[in-house]
Structure 1
Amino acid sequence: MLALRDSTQYAHMTPAHPCDSDDPERRFRPLSPVETCVDTCGLARDSAPYFSQHNKRYGVLTMANGKQATARRLKMADRAQQLQDLHFPGMPEILLWHRNRHDGFITIPRTLPIVMQAVDAQSKGQPAGHTLFCLWARSPDHPVLSIENPSTFAAEAGFIGERAVDTWRRRMKKLRELHCIETKPGASGEFHYVLLHNPNAVMEWMHSVGLVRAELYSRFIERLADVGAFGEIEAVRQLWAQQQAAEAASAAAQTAATVPAAEADATAQANAAPEASAKVQIALPELGANL
């Protein structure tokens, strides 16, 4: 989350870029966090350079990195224990679940609930967000999982009856369409092997093609900043830029190779035309003699 150190009266507003105004009362204004600053620097409002520049100038906006987020989580856990001792004293520990003391857990991105909302919004009538969560819950702390029994996954996703597996498969196709997963066929069918994509990268792709509401994407960016994972989005954008540059270079190389070939063909055709005409002229007297 974006942390305001000097005042909270603007906490409900989106931080404005330092290029917007020198007036302290106008440092924050209710604009979309993904709007690009066109006044001076052209930085996107959800980019790390934007946050960095704003923080250097005013010292009011901070974005947690990975180490800071870890330290904050430890402090939050200590505070939560104090709150438990205060509000829920005497609770038997056997009735509580702790990751460090119990087995049967999976590590998931903290942004997954927001990504699930975006997925559900794009699959109305057939919400696939819970199906995505069930895949993560079954993954072996690795992005690849094998589905030996689709009916088990269908049941955990909440589908029962004769057409449960068919319903589950439709949700899986939607997840694949939204780039949440990649699949390969195997013994159990079309979805035997599943590769889980980074939900943060999925959300950024959905945003890039206009499949996410601005309000939901804003909450996603704030949550990324809160958990220190904004660098993932920057890395994804950099990868896409490199891929686009490589595709552009490849297209330019193909164009450069095609033009000389076309010129060579035109030259060959031009050279062949007089030869063909000469052959016709030679053939006509021969034809007359034969007549």
Structure 2
Amino acid sequence: MATIRARRAISGSELALRNSLWPEAAERAWDRTVYGGFTTLPKTIPYICRIMDDLSKGFPLSTTYLALWSSTWDNSFVRLNRPGDLAFASGFSGERAERTWLDRMRRLEEIGFIQTKPSGASKMGFAFIPNPHEVIFRLRAAKADPHAPNHMHTVAAGLTEGAFNAFVERALEVGCNDVKAMLDASASRMEKAESPSVGKPKRARLKRPGAAE
């Protein structure tokens, strides 16, 4: 996993290489430190989007999710008082645009990538976007747990090992400390579950009446 110093070194070398290939890049690039209207996205977002689309086969969710995230102010919170605009930004149009958008929102909430609260007459007035890395780990745990509720098994069925591993590889590559911590916690739980019981007192056997000493 890259340290902060290593990431800064990589960023500097990438910038130097870019400028050697495109000397005018600094004047042409969009720079968030100069221009307004930006939000922060994890570098794992393509993998997150791939996973959520896999989890909802035939009903792509990633464009709706990205439209929501782009509506935040780096606070994981969205007001849903302009559903028509959000539906359009999500790629839906026509008479069924808002209905389709609402369906995608419900599916996103069902698998845990968003949470919503009502406002007035609207059942979806506000949305909160929890850490998507935690959502993915929770789904993976539910898929592997035979005691998890049936609806969680159904929801997590589309999470493949290949997609999860690719997501983890990218997360560690770019230095996602939360993913590293969740991996360590998961490994620790597995180690405890698999380790034999040591040092536990044995139960005393009760003697049957009349049994020989």
| Partner in structure 2 of residue 75 of structure 1 | 9
Does residue 1:107 correspond to 2:54, yes or no?
no
Shift of 1:236: 9.0
Q: Is the Cα contact below 8 Å between 1:131 and 1:157 reproduced in 2?
A: yes
Alignment map for 1:4-15 (pairs within 5 Å): none
| Partner in structure 2 of residue 153 of structure 1 | 86
Which secondary structure does the structure 2 equivalent of 1:138 belong to? coil
2:104, 2:184 → 1: CA distance? Answer: 28
Shift of 1:119: 0.5
2:121, 2:88 → 1: CA distance? Answer: 16
| Partner in structure 1 of residue 163 of structure 2 | 216
Q: For 1:149, give the aligned amino acid.
A: R
2:92, 2:54 → 1: CA distance? Answer: 19
Q: For 1:124, give the aligned amino acid.
A: K
**Among candidates 84, 92, 112, match of residue 18 of structure 2:** 84
Structure 2 residues without counterparts, runs of 5 or longer = 144-155, 189-213
1:187, 1:236 → 2: CA distance? Answer: 41
Q: For 2:172, give the aligned amino acid.
A: A
Q: For 2:12, give the aligned amino acid.
A: D
Q: Which has the larger radius of gyration?
A: 1
**Among candidates 101, 104, 125, match of residue 168 of structure 1:** 101
Structure 1 residues without counterparts, runs of 5 or longer = 1-62, 242-291
Q: For 2:119, give the aligned amino acid.
A: G
Shift of 1:91: 4.2
| Partner in structure 1 of residue 198 of structure 2 | none
Against the structure 1 CA distance between its residues 114 and 76, is the aligned structure 2 distance closer, same or farther, given a 3 Å change threshold? same
| Partner in structure 1 of residue 74 of structure 2 | 141
Shift of 1:189: 1.7
Which secondary structure does the structure 1 equivalent of 2:70 belong to? helix
Alignment map for 1:38-57 (pairs within 5 Å): none
Q: Is the Cα contact below 8 Å between 2:172 and 2:180 reproduced in 1?
A: no
2:18, 2:11 → 1: CA distance? Answer: 10
| Partner in structure 2 of residue 124 of structure 1 | 57
2:137, 2:15 → 1: CA distance? Answer: 35
| Partner in structure 2 of residue 256 of structure 1 | none
User: RMSD between aligned alpha carbons?
Assistant: 2.4
Q: Is the Cα contact below 8 Å between 2:168 and 2:179 reproduced in 1?
A: no
| Partner in structure 2 of residue 9 of structure 1 | none
**Among candidates 127, 139, 145, match of residue 194 of structure 1:** 127
Give the count of matched residue pairs.
174
Q: Is the Cα contact below 8 Å between 2:172 and 2:179 reproduced in 1?
A: no
Q: Given the two structures, how large is their TM-score scaled by the length of structure 1? A: 0.55
